[in-house]
A and B are shown apart, each in its own frame.
Chain A
Amino acid sequence: MWHIAKRELYDNLNSLRFALATVLLLALMLTNAVLYLREHPKRTQAYHNAAAGAIKTLESRSTSLYRLATEGPGDMHKAPSPLRFCAEGDEAFLPTHAGGANYGRRIANMTPIWRMFYPQKTPNLFNIRPDFTTLDWAFIVGYVLSFIAILFTFDSISGELERGTLRLTLANAIPRHIVLVGKFLGAFISVNIPFAVAVLMNLILISTSDAVQLNAEAWGRLGILYGIVILYTCLFIALGLLISAAVRESGVSLVVLLLIWVSFVVFMPNTLASIGSRTSVPIAYEEFWVRRMQLADAAREAYRNKYGDSQTTPSVHVLGEYVTSEAEENEDYNEAYLKLQIEQGKRARAITRISPTAIVQRLFESFAGTGFERHLQFIENVQRYARQYREFVIDTDRADPESLHVVGIQEGMSQKPVSPEAIPKFKDTLNLNRDFNTAATDLLLLVLFLMVIASGAYLAFVRLEI
């Protein structure tokens, strides 16, 4: 078996395709590293500035508990992932922060209290540049490496069949599956050599730069990503062997492989996503605004019916109840709408799993800490913090015996100053365990794909007539 693998390897190493693949992958990986080193420091700087600014704003509000309750903690910013060179995850389309607002329908000139609000980002509105995919690892692996894997394997059985060397090999007393495994290993190693070299150059460039520090966890994640790359290349090599054995002519096998590649890698993820997202469409953003205002109006109307016009100032407790319930209702509505949007996005992404490239893209995003899943994590962090912040306000208020404990009303809250250090601060974190859980299904699917195709290749080769 090693003999066959070695022969296969020598064959490949001397070939034109090996040289071309090495050049291509090296060029791509080096560009990736250079661009990352150019962009990432700017990104982290911007994040740190924004986060520091947010903390400053928060501390400036610590003059009274009432201000903290009505104005809220300010914007919460999403930390950029240090592994963004692995998967861009279309971060350009996702909001970089979440925040709150204190606009609502007023009663008796009361300031409405703060509620969570999720900004929408439409960067496309000003973007008139031509469309493109960012050169991240996910692209290099998903598109280019799979393409190279196909080019290395399309003739590995059919070519030998045509030249007649397969007959010679099998004339020796070697079981067929050993031949197949040998071929598989040979192709696998020869595809992986240029990729490994390119990755090495990429990582050397990134890790020697002062601008970026990758910690142990980041290296762990990179290791997992490399494992995914291995699985993915195995998949395409197995596919190449399968078609190569099933079709017998190398010209035809290449055409079939390329067509499969084009449909599964290039077109399927996007087309399927468009179809999948159509199953249930939430209302448009504008309509959401309109309905939000209608809800607020209805709440105010209900209040007026109960307590009369706002000209006569009602008691602190009545007002407190109104501002609190108004903010809660409004926040619930914001959250419900966000949930609908997320559901739609999830459905669109779920259906793309038919394509292994989409699976790999998702896995890369999970482990690089970018993209959709990461954004969901960020939103969870934000929501957890919002609860914590509210509890802090209520607890501080309770601790003051002089207070009337009516949150949201100036006279009803503690008048004591709040120490700026005591206010909880938002810190965005990435959690690897969680990534493992979300990625487990995808990993399993990828392994299943591989097993099906590999056994297909085995059957096709064992039954092959020579």
Chain B
Amino acid sequence: MLKTLIGRELLDNLMTFRFAAAVFITLLLVVANTVVLLKDYEQRLTAYNKAATESHEALREEKTYARYAGALIVHRPPNPLSIFNLGLDKQVGNKIEVYHAFVPTMWDAEKHGADNPFLNLFTSIDIVLVFQGVLSLLALIFAYDALAGERERGTLRLVLTHPIQRGYILLAKYISAMLCLLVPLLISLLLSIILLTTSATVALNADDFLRIGGIVLTSLLYVSLFYLIGLCISAMTRRTSTALMLCMFVWGVLVLVYPNLILTAVEITPKPDAKISVYNQIKQTWEELERKKKQFIRNDTVLSLPSRGGEDMDAGFGLEGVEYTFWHDKDKPSILLYFHQTGLYAGKIKTESEPQVPHVQNYYSFYNRETINTVQRTWLVRKPALEAIYVQPANLGRMLLRFSPVGLYDAATEAWAGSDLEGIQDFFSTVQRHRRAVVDYFYDKKIFESRQWFAADKGTADWDALPQFSFQRSDTGINAKRALPDMLLLLTMNVILFTVIVLIFIKSEV
């Protein structure tokens, strides 16, 4: 009996104009946007490859280890699955310096191949966004007259004269509508995957297909939720026109109005004075290091601080053969970044300065170690402060978005694609680990206290022996774990709505 019902519903739905129009428009939008996104991805990939090669070569031109400051740069590759959900993949920085004087975070990153700012005025449309707008609308269009229409036409009464449970009728309607909605979803996804695989630059592996599978599953839950919303409205109202209006307004509010309204309205800025106090604390820690450093030099029997105009110069020590002294510092209160490094580069140290060299080595051993300790101390304050200033407001926004299915869908698909905040932070934690590895390597090989740290005359820096940076996107399992809470929420909403509909429908008079 269920089969007959499903068959009837399917025929009813499939042979309609709305179905044809829906398939057509979804295909058109998805294909057009996939082509645009693919071109964009290719462009970003080219920029990434170029930047990565340039950085690789730039580092190898340096002779002394100390000059890795500002030259050891790693780049974030674009995520091919960002075509499905762009998330933060494009906007967050993708070029970051690895240096022992600060812990690299997302906020310290810059952008290679930065865009024309006048193009930021347009939002990029990804495949999930198309589904989010079009498929939800379609689901409601399929649903609004499913019960109210049959009731008006009187066919519902005829069907109910058969000895079938009312729940079965609902189930048949649900299954057939979902089958119909699957058609545009799957065909358009298929086309976009074909487009992706024909492109030479996009290499999708088995894991990526699993992730795409996750996106499809989430899309199904999302579409089904909108179908059930429509069905619920249809079950509650007696007239199709009322049901239609309610459906459309619910769509307008959930998809169009609520997300924008809530994100505009909720003002989430942390207190500026809290930011300033953290920044001052960080700065003080660094100034303390500066004092310790000067003390160390004063206590040294051989080294002395050369002064210019009554002010102590930071480095130089009167060493003959110094090419120049350097300052490497960043002072960005907005992202609570502060560090100050000084040192010297020597080409060929003259023989009369040779006795000073062990002292300089000793100094660098002390200074670099202390710098790393200072970074560790400031990181303890900086990390929670960055969380409070940037991450928490963003998470609050995302949390508020979850009151609309749109927010849940977006969050879950972002997690599957790996373009969500956590996915991006994976990269930056890899960079942090890389920094640790480089520092450990410098400790192990005693590079901080070596002559090659500042002088290039007896052996130069061996950059190929440095730990190599490599970034792998997280496992599918981790993606799934991140997407699961939102998917479960979607599922729960589905189940609750279905139960509500069954209850309403069983109680309703025909």
* A251 neighbours in B (Cβ, 8 Å): 18, 145
Q: How far is the CA of A266 from the CA of B125 in the complex (A)?
A: 10
B123 to chain A, nearest CB (A): 5
Encode contact with A along B87-118: 1 for CB under 8 Å, 0 otherwise. Answer: 01001110000000000001101111111111
Whether B393 lies near A129 (C-beta < 8 A) is: yes
Q: Are B248's CB and A282's CB within 8 A?
A: no
CB pair B421 A128 closer than 8 Å: yes
38-61 of chain B: CB within 8 A of chain A: 39-40, 43, 47
A132 adjacent to B264 (CB under 8 Å): yes
Whether B21 is near chain A, meaning CB under 8 Å from some CB there, is yes
B335 A126 Cβ-Cβ under 8 A: yes
Pair A274/B107 contact, Cβ less than 8 Å: no
Residues of chain A with a CB closer than 8 A to B125's CB: 267, 270-271, 274
Q: Quick one: which of A38, A122, A151, A269 contacts B117, CB cutoff 8 A? A: A122
A284 near B242: Cβ-Cβ < 8 Å? no
Question: What is the CB-to-nearest-CB distance from A313 to chain B, in angstroms, rounded to a whole number?
Answer: 23
Chain B residue at minimal CB-CB distance from A274: B36
User: Which one, A120, A143, A275, contacts B114 given CB within 8 A?
Assistant: A120
A144-B257 contact, Cβ under 8 Å, with A16-B246, A130-B397, A258-B141: yes
Q: CB-CB < 8 A to A341: which residues of B?
A: 116-118
Q: Which of A17, A151, A258, A281 has a CB less than 8 Å from the CB of B137? A: A258
Contact in complex: A263, B401 (CB < 8 Å): no
Give complex CA distance A126, B39 in Å. Answer: 25
| Cα–Cα distance between A270 and B28 once the two chains are bound (Å) | 15
Q: A92 CB to closest chain B CB, in angstroms?
A: 9
Contacts of B394 in A (CB 8 A): 128-130
Report the Cα distance A20→B421, complex, angstroms.
Answer: 37
Range for the number of chain A residues in contact with chain B: 35 or more
Q: For the complex, is A48 an interface residue (Cβ under 8 Å from B)?
A: no
Say yes or no for B488: interface residue by CB 8 A criterion.
no
Q: Is A93 an interface residue (CB 8 A)?
A: yes
Given known contacts A126-B390, A266-B133, A284 and B264 CB-to-CB distance under 8 angstroms: no
Interface centre among B40, B120, B124 (most CB of A within 10 A): B120
Whole-angstrom distance between the Cβ of A135 and the nearest chain B Cβ: 5
On whether the beta carbons of B91 and A20 are closer than 8 Å, the reply is no
A378 interfacial contact with B, CB 8 Å = no
Q: Would you call A345 and B260 a contact (CB within 8 A)?
A: no
Q: For the complex, what is the distance from the CA of A94 to the CA of B121, rounded to whole Å? A: 9
* Minimum distance in angstroms from B47 CB to a CB of chain A: 7
Within 8 A of B (CB), among A433-455: none
| A121 interfacial contact with B, CB 8 Å | yes
A 264-308 contacts with B by CB, 8 A: 266-267, 269-271, 273-275, 277-278, 281-282, 284-286
- Write out the residue numbers on chain B whose beta carbons fall within 8 Å of the beta carbon of A93: 117, 120-121
**A267 and B263: CB pair below 8 A?**
no
- Residue among B110, B115, B121 with most chain A CB within 10 A: B121
State in angstroms the CA–CA spacing of A28 and B264 once bound together: 11
A155: interface (CB < 8 Å): yes
Q: Which residues of B contact A345 (CB under 8 A)?
A: 116, 118-119, 121
B116 CB contact (under 8 Å) in A135, A147, A282: A282
Q: Across the interface, do B141 and A130 meet the contact criterion of CB distance under 8 Å? A: no
A372 to B130 CA separation, bound complex (whole angstroms): 26
Contact B17 A132 (CB under 8 A): no
Q: Closest chain B residue to A123 by CB distance?
A: B120
**Chain A hits for B47, CB < 8 A:** 284
**A125 pairs with B141, CB closer than 8 A:** no
The interface size of chain B toward A, counting residues with CB under 8 Å, comes to 75
Partner of B391, one of A28, A128, A254: A128
Contact flag A143-B391 (CB < 8 Å), given A93-B121, A269-B122: no
Q: Which of A90, A252, A256, A262 contacts B121 (CB under 8 A)?
A: A90
Tell me if A267 and B33 are in contact (CB < 8 A).
Answer: yes
Smallest CB-CB separation from B113: which chain A residue? A284
A57 at the interface (CB under 8 A from B): no
Does any Cβ of A come within 8 Å of B204's Cβ? Answer: no
- Contact with B118, one of A28, A269, A372 (Cβ below 8 angstroms): A372
Q: How far is the CA of A345 from the CA of B201 in the complex (A)?
A: 27
- A240 interface contact, C-beta 8 A: no
Interface presence of A124 (CB below 8 A): yes
Q: Are B119 and A286 in contact (CB under 8 A)?
A: no
Chain A interface secondary structure, helix, strand, loop or mixed?
helix
A291 to B: closest C-beta gap in Å:
14
With A125-B91, A259-B22 already in contact, the answer to whether A252 and B17 are too (CB < 8 A) is: yes
Contact between chains at B133 and A134 (CB < 8 Å): no
Complex Cα–Cα for A134 and B398 (A) = 16
Q: Is the CB of A275 within 8 A of B249?
A: no
Interface pair B25/A263, CB less than 8 Å apart: yes
B388 beta carbon closer than 8 Å to chain A: no
Q: Which of B40, B91, B393 contacts A274 (CB 8 A)?
A: B40
B9 is an interface residue with CB less than 8 A from chain A: no
Residues of A within 8 A of B311 (CB): none
Complex contacts, B114 vs chain A, CB 8 Å: 120, 122, 284-286
How distant is the Cα of A285 from the Cα of B120 in the complex, in angstroms? 14
Residues of B within 8 A of A285 (CB): 114
Nearest B residue to A119, CB-CB: B117
Q: B245 — which chain A residues lie within 8 A by C-beta?
A: 15-17, 20, 151
> How far is the CB of B73 from the nearest CB of chain A, in Å?
12
Q: Is the CB of B137 within 8 A of A271?
A: no
Contacts of B497 on A, CB cut-off 8 Å? Answer: none
Most chain B CB atoms below 10 A, which of A16, A131, A134? A131
User: B106, B249, B424: which has the most chain A beta carbons within 10 Å?
Assistant: B249
Q: Which residues of B contact A28 (CB under 8 A)?
A: 257, 261
Contacts of A126 in B (CB 8 A): 107, 334-335, 390
B residues adjacent to A (C-beta < 8 A): 17-18, 21-22, 25, 28-29, 32-33, 36, 39-40, 43, 47, 88, 91-93, 106-107, 109-125, 130, 133-134, 137, 141, 145, 241-242, 244-246, 248-249, 252-253, 256-257, 259-261, 263-265, 267-268, 334-335, 390-391, 393-394, 397-398, 401, 407, 410, 421, 424
A residues in contact (CB < 8 Å) with B:
15-17, 20, 24, 28, 31, 35, 38, 89-90, 93-95, 120-122, 124-135, 139, 143-144, 147, 151, 155, 159, 251-252, 254-256, 258-259, 262-263, 266-267, 269-271, 273-275, 277-278, 281-282, 284-286, 341-342, 344-345, 348-349, 371-372
Known: A16-B245, A278-B39, A341-B117. 19 other contacts (CB 8 A): A31-B264, A93-B120, A94-B118, A122-B117, A125-B111, A129-B394, A130-B259, A130-B401, A251-B145, A256-B21, A262-B137, A270-B125, A284-B47, A284-B112, A284-B114, A286-B112, A345-B119, A348-B119, A372-B118
Q: List 7 A-B contacts (CB under 8 A).
A: A93-B117, A130-B410, A134-B264, A147-B256, A277-B116, A284-B113, A344-B119
